[in-house]
Amino acid sequence: MPTGPLTATDPTSTPADAGALLKLWSALSENWTLAAAQTFADQIDTLFEHADDEQVTGLGNLSAYMASFLETERAPNTAQLIRLDELARLALGAATDAAAKPQPAPAATPADNAPTLPHAPVPSISTINLHPGTKEVRPKSARNAICLIGIAESLAPGLVATLSERGYQVSSYPSASQARVYLKDYAPGAVVMLAPQLRALPSLQALWSKASAPPALMVLSSNRDLTYRLLSLRANAAAYFAAPLDSYRIVARLDELLGRQSLPAYRVLIVEDDRDLAIQAGHWVAAEGMTARIAAYGSAAIAAIGEFQPDLVLIDASLPDARGVDLVQVIKQQHEHAMLPIVLMSTAGDAGERFDAIAAGADEVLVKPLKARHVIGVIRSRVQRAQWLRAQTEASSARDPKSGFYPRSLLLDRIPARFGTTGSALLCFALDDADLLRKQIGTAGLSALDVEIGQRLSGYLAAHDLAGTLRDCSWVVLITRDRREAIAQLAERVRFAVVEKPFTLAGEAVAISASVGLVDLEEGQWRLDSAITAAESAVASAAQRGGNSVAWFEDNVRQGPDPALAV
């Protein structure tokens, strides 16, 4: 029998080949180059030539998809990279499993007239540890740790500080490649990634796949690109937030994911005429700290909704005085209950009733017999989704569609959250000669002026900046930048945006300019009123220099007027 090193034609070499290819793919997915992709594709083709029937389909799909990028010499986008990862792990995982199966022992041919000996039992195949005394290294679980990847302070102002205040151990890395060393040794409670970093997710998931408790994944985006939201869903992200980002909401969601936040006491209305089933569902709800109320009739449910104000309604499909589907429709037609989550409890196999319920406005249909865990899971997920949709609707409706300004009350509520946050500042500016301008444009012109100023600012503000009207001819912007110089540059751009061209009203052009004041919110002990006062004081200092200039609050207090800052 010939001896020598195993080649690719030997099936026992496949596990090593497939394992090596998986490592090669992990490196390629993180840093795609045409040369590395060609090498990977060539090795896939080699493996394909010796594949059995079970492996052919997976390897063929992977090879064909790889060829589409090599032929056009282009790199895959994030969605395509995730699809490639699915194909690679499916194909190479199957190859590894197939090659690891025990190979049948060849039948021995006894010599003529030789005595036949009983066959010795064939020992089962086992894995041999080449390094006895060493154990498989698994990432250490660190449930109190949060790993941030690509999350700049300017994108989510105050996030790191808020997490630290909550007692989390925060590790922040500019990119996924720099986070690999940490994730190789530790499995944090959660990984918070910037959406574009998702292209490196497959290689990171390979690192924590052996962890006893893999981290929860949260994705943040600097814009509202639908592509990133869909990619987050495909990556099974536990949460997704798009700009403008609210650090407190992000931390609250992390608290919830990691079990550090007591669940809210939701109110659940159970509409069921079967008393035993209604009481049983009520016990399930009460056991989770929620409040339940039972109504046996549709008419009683309508009355209870107004009085009880439930967060969710469970409705039986068949009630003594109404069909469950009809009751769903009646509730949803009321404007104040249009976003109230409703779950219909139906009998098994009634597909028509299920379709009717969804068409009437039901959020979900549960099929009897019910299970406690399923019911509670649906209640939580549907209520949380309704609350999120309500918050998104309120935030969208709060912002003026023409000027882009937020209401003054909302803006003032957000300012205290930035106190002591790295890079946070208050930018306030007021038009010079405001009294004269009011006389020229009148009260009606002030609204048009707000819209004009908002449109001029839109090209200079980041998604997380919050701007609003402080009072007539005066505006305030809550900003966060990485450097103090960047804040000063923004102030100069705002000043120039105002003075660049006159304000036109009813065909009449009025020259305008503004004095801009800046307050550093990172340092000092601030309160809301003192921060606003400081900003207006800095504006007054800039106006005293002749207007059309920028002044920091420190300049006003410590250094006095500096004529060199005037333009």
Q: Parse the chain into domains and list their residue ranges.
A: 11-99, 140-257, 267-395, 408-565
What is the C-alpha to C-alpha distance for residues 226 and 235, in angstroms, rounded to an integer? 14
Model confidence over 504-553: pLDDT tens digits?
Answer: 888 888 899 999 999 999 887 899 999 999 999 999 999 999 999 999 99
Lowest mean pLDDT across 233-237, 294-298, 514-518: 233-237
What is the C-alpha to C-alpha distance for residues 298 and 269, in angstroms, rounded to an integer? 12
Task: Write out the two tokens for 473.
Answer: 């001819």
pLDDT at 453 over 50: yes
Report the CATH architecture of 140-257.
3-Layer(aba) Sandwich (3.40)
Pairing of strands 169-173, 364-367: unpaired
Q: What is the pLDDT of residue 478?
A: 94
pLDDT at 563 over 60: no
For the ranges 119-128, 176-185, 385-394, 542-551, the one whose mean pLDDT is highest: 542-551
Other beta carbons less than 10 A from residue 240's beta carbon: 19
Residue of 284, 264, 280 whose CA lies nearest to 272: 280
Say yes or no: do domains 140-257 and 267-395 share a fold: yes
Average pLDDT over residues 35-40: 87
Residue of 284, 288, 335, 336 whose CA lies nearest to 310: 336
- Distance linking the first and last C-alpha atoms of the chain: 92
Identify which has the larger pLDDT, 216 or 119.
Answer: 216
pLDDT at 153 over 50: yes
pLDDT band at 172 (very low <50, low <70, confident <90, very high): very high
pLDDT at 48 over 90: no
pLDDT band at 137 (very low <50, low <70, confident <90, very high): low
What is the C-alpha to C-alpha distance for residues 467 and 415, in angstroms, rounded to an integer? 11
pLDDT over 90, % of the chain: 28
CATH of domain 408-565: 3.30.70.270
pLDDT at 174 over 70: yes
Q: Are 404 and 486 in contact (CB under 8 A)?
A: no
Name the superfamily (CATH) of residues 267-395: Response regulator (3.40.50.2300)
Task: Write out the two tokens for 148.
Answer: 């941030």
> CA distances (Å), 217 to each of 193, 281, 373, 391, in order?
8, 32, 23, 22
Average pLDDT over residues 242-271: 80
Residue of 516, 440, 523, 447 whose CA lies nearest to 476: 516
Q: What is the pLDDT of residue 535?
A: 94
pLDDT at 70 over 50: yes
Q: What is the pLDDT of residue 132?
A: 42
Model confidence over 356-412: pLDDT tens digits?
Answer: 888 888 998 998 888 888 898 889 888 888 887 776 666 666 778 888 898 888 888
Q: What is the pLDDT of residue 302?
A: 93
Instruction: Name the average pLDDT for the chain.
Output: 80
Q: Are 254 and 190 in contact (CB under 8 A)?
A: yes
Q: What is the pLDDT of residue 56?
A: 62
pLDDT at 11 over 50: no
pLDDT at 8 over 70: no
Report whether the peptide linkage leading into residue 214 is cis, meaning its omega lies within 30 degrees of zero. Answer: no
Q: What is the pLDDT of residue 4?
A: 38
Lowest mean pLDDT across 55-59, 263-267, 353-357, 414-418: 55-59
pLDDT band at 130 (very low <50, low <70, confident <90, very high): very low
